[in-house]
Structure formats: C-alpha cells, structure tokens
Amino acid sequence: MSTTTLSRPRSGNAPSGKAYARRYWIFAMPAAAVVLLVILFPWIFTLYMSVHDWKVTGATPFVGFDNYARMLADERFLWSIVRTLWFTAASVIAPLLLGVWAAVCFAENFKLRGIARTVFILPMMATPVAISLVWTMMFHPQLGVLNYILTLVGLPPSTWVYDANTVIPTLVMVETWQWTPLVMLIVLGGIASLPQDPYEAAILDGASNWQMFRHITLPLVWPFIMVATVIRLIDALKTFDTIYVITLGGPGSASETLNIMLYQTAFAYYDLGYGSAIVVVFFLLILAISMLLLRVRQREDLR
C-alpha cells in the first residue's frame, strides 16, 4: 500500500500530548480484537502446526524442523519457487512499463478521457474467476479467438496455456492485462501532484516530450513508481485465482507456482503440517523481497 499516508505531515492544530492521543485508542479496540482473532491467531497456529506432522485425521506428533528440512529436498517445491520468481519478475516489469506509459497518457486532457480510464481499470475490478474463464475460452487451440487473430495478422497460432514452454508467458500476459491499471492509478496520482513550473520552463527551453518525461516526470514520480513496484511484487507472488482457474498448475506442473503448490499440499493432500511450513517460508520470501526493494529505495533517496 501507499506510503503517502504514513508520511503525511502531521497537522499541528490538534491538542497535542500523548495522553490526549491515547484517549482515541478506544476507537481502534474492536477492530484490533477482530484482527487479532482472524489474523494473529492463524499465524501463531501456523507456526505451531509447521513443527508437527499434521494430517487432518490421526495423531499429530511433534517433528521439530522436519517439515522445513523436507522442503530443501523436495524438487517439486524448489521448482515451484523457480517458476514463482520467473512469473513474478515478468509480471512486475511488464505492468510497470505499460502502467507508467498509461499514466502519462491519462494525465493529458483529451476527449472521452473519463470513459477510456474507466474501461481501462475494468480488468482489475472484474471478478478474477470470471475473466479467467473467458481467457480460457480465448486460448482454445482450434476455436479460440486469439489464434484466429494471430492468423489474421499472418502469425503462426500459439499453444498458449497448452504447452509447457508458453504457459507462463501466457499467464504473465493475463496478469499484465489485469494489473497494469493499478500501476497506472498509483503513478497517475503521482503525476497529478507534480508542480507545473518545471514543465513551463522546459517548454520555453524547447525541450521535447521525451526529454520532459525523462528529466522531469520520471525523477519526480519515482517514489510512486517504487510504491507501485512493491505492491505489484507482493501481488504477483501471491497470484492464485487466475492460475488456478486457467491451468490448475498445468500442463503437468509447468505453471505450478508456490501458491498453487501450497494449495495442493494443504487442501488436496491434506498435509497440513508441511503446508504450514511452506506458508511460513512463503511469507518470509514475500517479506524479504519487499524489504529488499524498500532498502534499495532508501539508498536511492540518500544519493
């Protein structure tokens, strides 16, 4: 989520003092209780289960770090990490490039801008299962509309999600189609907050559009792009609905990402102990990658 809210300057007009501020804690209590129950309890319980051999029925003996050790030797798990990272890298970069481009376009005034922007954000609002079904029909090798379009423009038909080599790029395409709008919205928010004077000066100096983008817009909205990158990264790592509906990890296990593998382990094989250990590692992976990016950003701020 955006860091803009967190770093917003504090208004100085409220009565200050810690005691005064503390009175307002009561408002957050009910929500805090629910969050504790629905979010913290599962976390503690997950940690507990991850050191037990826990199937749905039968005894649940303590096994120490066996579940974690098992991961290191589990090729299916290791491959799912490789696939997740490759899927994630592509699903961050493509929406970022297109999203920044879209934001620059939507920052201009033009006819039908409102309706064009609304249509543009429909993919991220639409129910993921519903759009996944329609994509699945479009990918059909013989009757699908996408292969028809390819042959229309003289390209050979693609195997889309039906071949191990093309399945991940195809899923990245769906992810890009779906989530470019979120990047666009965040960056557009950044562009809207920019001062106008540098542009006016640049126009007087005869700068080209590209020069203005490269030397004014890009550096100034860079923090927003970083926020969008972190959000995109987290979401791409967690992608579930579209992959589950379109391929269920297939063909074979060619698109089995970590989240899909986790689902299969926990809710198809009911190996809850091992599943919990995977959850813990998954969460640490997400946390580590997000931290790394934030660190990179901080270092750039220092320059």
Cis peptide preceding 157, ω within 30 of 0: no
Burial classification of residue 217, based on how many CB atoms lie within 10 Å of its CB (0-12 exposed, 13-18 middle, 19 or more buried): buried
Smallest separation (angstroms) from other proteins to the CB of 195 = 18
- One residue of 161, 168, 221, 227 binding other proteins per CB under 8 A: 227
Contact predicate 139/170, CB 8 Å: yes
Binding residues among 252-271 for other proteins as defined by CB under 8 A = 259, 262-263, 266-267
Smallest separation (angstroms) from other proteins to the CB of 303 = 25
Q: The tokens of 25 are what? A: 């804690």
Contact predicate 136/128, CB 8 Å: no
Which residues lie closer than 8 Å to 272 by C-beta, 6 or more apart?
Answer: 49, 54, 55, 56, 266
Contact predicate 267/192, CB 8 Å: no
Smallest separation (angstroms) from other proteins to the CB of 153 = 14
Regarding 53 and contact with other proteins (CB under 8 A), the answer is no
Regarding 87 and contact with other proteins (CB under 8 A), the answer is no
Regarding 49 and contact with other proteins (CB under 8 A), the answer is yes
Regarding 204 and contact with other proteins (CB under 8 A), the answer is no
Regarding 218 and contact with other proteins (CB under 8 A), the answer is no
Regarding 119 and contact with other proteins (CB under 8 A), the answer is yes
Q: The tokens of 124 are what? A: 């991220």
DSSP 10: P
Torsion angle, alpha carbons of 94, 100, 102, 104, to 10: -160
Smallest separation (angstroms) from other proteins to the CB of 106 = 8
Q: The tokens of 94 are what? A: 């493509």
- One residue of 105, 207, 254, 293 binding other proteins per CB under 8 A: 105
- One residue of 97, 134, 155, 284 binding other proteins per CB under 8 A: 134
Regarding 231 and contact with other proteins (CB under 8 A), the answer is yes
Regarding 120 and contact with other proteins (CB under 8 A), the answer is yes
Q: What is the Cβ-side half-sphere exposure of residue 169, based on CA atoms within 13 angstroms?
A: 7
Helices (H) then strands (E): counts for the chain: 15, 0
Binding residues among 166-195 for other proteins as defined by CB under 8 A = 177, 180, 182, 185-186, 188-189
Instruction: Give the span between the Cα atoms of 252 and 264, in whole angstroms.
Output: 13
Instruction: Give the span between the Cα atoms of 252 and 268, in whole angstroms.
Output: 16
- One residue of 31, 72, 73, 204 binding other proteins per CB under 8 A: 31
Task: Give whichever of 291 and 303 is closer to other proteins, judged by the CB atom.
Answer: 291
Instruction: Give the span between the Cα atoms of 281 and 285, in whole angstroms.
Output: 6
DSSP 74: -
Binding residues among 4-23 for other proteins as defined by CB under 8 A = 4-6, 8, 10-11, 13-15, 21-23
Regarding 155 and contact with other proteins (CB under 8 A), the answer is no
Which residues lie closer than 8 Å to 234 by C-beta, 6 or more apart?
Answer: 286, 290
Regarding 245 and contact with other proteins (CB under 8 A), the answer is yes
- One residue of 97, 133, 155, 292 binding other proteins per CB under 8 A: 133
Task: Give whichever of 7 and 303 is closer to other proteins, judged by the CB atom.
Answer: 7
Regarding 46 and contact with other proteins (CB under 8 A), the answer is yes
- One residue of 17, 38, 73, 252 binding other proteins per CB under 8 A: 38
Size of site (CB under 8 A) for other proteins: 99
